[in-house]
Structure 1
Amino acid sequence: MDRSDQGRVVRIGTRSSPMALAQVERVRAELTALEPDLVVEVVPVTTSGDRWPGSLAALGGKGAFTREVDQLLLNREVDLAVHCMKDVPGDRPVPAGTTFACYLERDDVRDALIHPGGLTLDELPAGTRIGTSAVRRIAQLARAYPHLTTVPIRGNANSRLAKLEAGHADALLLAYSGLERIGETARATQILGIDTMCPPIGAGVLGLQCREEDTETVDLIGRLGSTGTWRETTAERMMLHVLQGHCNSPIAGLATSRPDGRLGLRAMVFSLDGKTTLEAEETGSASDPVLLGTSVAVALLHQGARELIDSTADQG
């Protein structure tokens, strides 16, 4: 760990998008609240997912937004990597020698509709072009709003908003928490409930990844973690792992901490046309989120989830 006359230095690796940099500012603020003398340096990198304008399937769909940031950590160029957990693949382990030291308190998990005319999904006329490349959103829109169409639109939230203004789509679906991070919540014309648009695995969760051997940083970062978010994210990601899903898989799900202290997990797998939806929901002990995630995944596999996931492997 580097030292300076100003105090201990922690270098944070991150994607270079405005939203990612805003996320790092949250981490910086929480770290310096713990240790006011801490010096936080930000090391941004443009990932392959940020550079590539087309379908993530062409990149393998796995780790397109994380691998370059992971490499900074493995190369010891940074001490800490910040990831949106929805972008971290579930079908392969994290890089050897690294660990997620904690998950921050979860942000809003809901999606938002952005329509220049202020209309809601129910009010949009037939043929309205909704900009999104997420197979999860495409399937759920096709299921509930078959009269609407989707058009592929990628990039960070700022660039998608710019593409909307340029006429590439008539409306957008974006994560509401992302709009919060870039100060654009006023653009949201409708916040969708989770029954309308079930969120992706790891929605609203920032994971802080360190090298396992760097126990000093692991211990420091671990102090920022939320126990509830850890349980929820662990259940969701175990379910994703058993299904061998990643960010280009037609999977949605959300774990929630119940008032009685137990943990619930609802998950869905879709066909891309929305005509087939598999769903499983279970409640288990908050002390064993791995078992809950595994149980829900097995229930989905028994319904045919493997075939649905494989059928969209080259789409999205």
Structure 2
Amino acid sequence: MPTTDTTTTDALAQVVAQRFTDTPLRVGTRTSPMALWQAGHVADLLAKRVPGLRTELVGIETTADNWPGDLAELGGKGLFTKEIDRGLMAGQVDVAVHCMKDVPGDVPLPPGTAFGAYLTRDDVHDVALFPAASPIRRLEDLPQGAKVATSSVRRRAQLHQYRPDLRIERIRGNVNSRLRKLDEGTDGFEAMILARAGLGRIGEAGQRPYQLLPMEHQGKKVAVLPAVGSGVIGLQARTADAPVMALLDELSDPDTAACVTAERVMLHMLLGHCNSPIAGHCVRTPDGREFHLRGMVFNRDGSRFVHAAAWHKDPATAGSLVAADLLRQGARDLINATKN
């Protein structure tokens, strides 16, 4: 987190404390166990910055959480955030907590709101999990035609590159319910792909074995480049609420914010929708001078894809360079083909 002058920090703490003398600072969140953990973590960080600050978690059920079918039929990932955004704009909550991978790239933020903080990025790797009773612990060892669960078109496309024989089918529900379905075997899934960060946030990362999927090709091993914004918790507030925006700025991690900027500039330029198999990941180079962004766009089954990378000292420029290169290679045709 950025280092701040003690006097400035104390002054800000006093302003925030006065702002919330009579009411708690309300943190808006989805109601899944992982979302509530994330919101609780945010509340702890806020209270640590402003000793004595009262916070309240406000659980908001979203359309996407209550929909059992394909999100594309309802309008996509924006349905994970729409109701929370409404609560923020209506003054029902003061801070909205979002997984950045769920924030769409083709829908503008509600007017008068902005992301004030991006918390330090968590592990971005995807992992493969298997039923507790199964002896299999690698995707490569699954039998021909095995049934694999994931709701991500990005993961589906990349898995098909390595194992086109697998039957990859959609699964909905929060992470806890998905793991339960996997172990109970009611849907016949022999493996499931999830984000390692999510497992950690619900306390499962150290409780069961999993296969860590690399982001770079390693022979015949399955490699999966993560989603844009993967592993990042974003904190959104009303821009007119200056004390809250200033408080969030103190919580923001500069490197994470820069990398998210690069990835989302790429996503915006690609006009990626909820059904677009788009992957992207940015890191600061070891010498600290530049940002390195990789981007990929796939067709639905992964049989066609384009890949681009760029290095630049300005993260937004890196994002625009990668997007322009992907579009030159035909990314628009691949994206348009996945709209239906």
Task: Determine if the TM-score, normalized by the shorter chain, exceeds 0.5.
Answer: yes
**Structure in which a larger fraction of residues adopt strand:** 1
Residue aligning to 1:187: 208
Residue aligning to 1:232: 259
Cα distance, 1:256 vs structure 2:
0.6
1:120 counterpart (138, 143, 149): 138
Cα distance, 1:282 vs structure 2:
0.7
Residue aligning to 1:283: 311
Evaluate the alpha carbon distance shift between residue 234 and residue 37 of structure 1 in structure 2; reply closer, same or farther with a 3 A threshold: same
Q: Deviations over 1:252-288 (max 9, x none)?
A: 0100111122100000000111110100011000xx2
Does 2:175 match 1:157? Answer: yes
Distance across 1 between alignment mates of 2:192 and 2:151: 10
Q: Deviations over 1:126-159 (max 9, x none)?
A: 1111101210000001011112220110111011
Residue aligning to 2:61: 46
Residue aligning to 1:311: 337
What does residue range 141-220 of structure 1 map to in structure 2 within 5 Å? 141-167=159-185, 168=187, 169-185=189-205, 186-195=207-216, 196-220=223-247
Q: TM-score, normalised by structure 1?
A: 0.95
1:263 counterpart (260, 267, 291): 291
For these two proteins, the number of residue pairs brought into alignment is 309
Distance across 1 between alignment mates of 2:40 and 2:320: 34
Q: Is the 8 A contact 1:12 1:81 kept in 2?
A: yes
Q: Is the 8 A contact 1:113 1:188 kept in 2?
A: no
Matched residue of 1:112: which SS?
strand
Q: Deviations over 1:41-82 (max 9, x none)?
A: 000111111000111110111401000111110110000000
1:83 counterpart (83, 93, 98): 98
Q: Is the 8 A contact 2:75 2:274 kept in 1?
A: no
Cα distance, 1:21 vs structure 2:
0.3
Residue aligning to 1:246: 273
Matched residue of 2:148: which SS?
strand
Q: Is the 8 A contact 1:102 1:209 kept in 2?
A: yes
Residue aligning to 1:297: 323
Structure number with greater Rg is: 2
Distance across 2 between alignment mates of 1:260 and 1:190: 31
2:34 aligned partner, one-letter code:
M
Cα distance, 1:187 vs structure 2:
2.6
Residue aligning to 2:87: 72
Matched residue of 1:187: which SS?
coil
1:274 counterpart (270, 279, 302): 302
2:194 aligned partner, one-letter code:
L
Does 2:46 match 1:20? Answer: no
2:155 counterpart (137, 147, 156): 137
Matched residue of 1:207: which SS?
strand
Matched residue of 1:201: which SS?
coil
Q: Is the 8 A contact 2:40 2:57 kept in 1?
A: no
Aligned Cα root-mean-square deviation (Å):
1.2
Q: Deviations over 1:156-184 (max 9, x none)?
A: 10111122123211211010000000011
Distance across 1 between alignment mates of 2:209 and 2:46: 30
Q: Is the 8 A contact 1:87 1:247 kept in 2?
A: no
2:154 aligned partner, one-letter code:
R
Does 2:82 match 1:96? Answer: no
Matched residue of 2:24: which SS?
strand
Distance across 2 between alignment mates of 1:254 and 1:27: 24
1:266 aligned partner, one-letter code:
R
Matched residue of 2:252: which SS?
coil
1:31 aligned partner, one-letter code:
L
Q: TM-score, normalised by structure 2?
A: 0.89
Residue aligning to 2:124: 109
Structure 1's consecutive aligned runs of 4 or more residues displaced over 2 angstroms after TM superposition are 1-4
Q: Is the 8 A contact 2:104 2:274 kept in 1?
A: yes
Identity level (%): 49
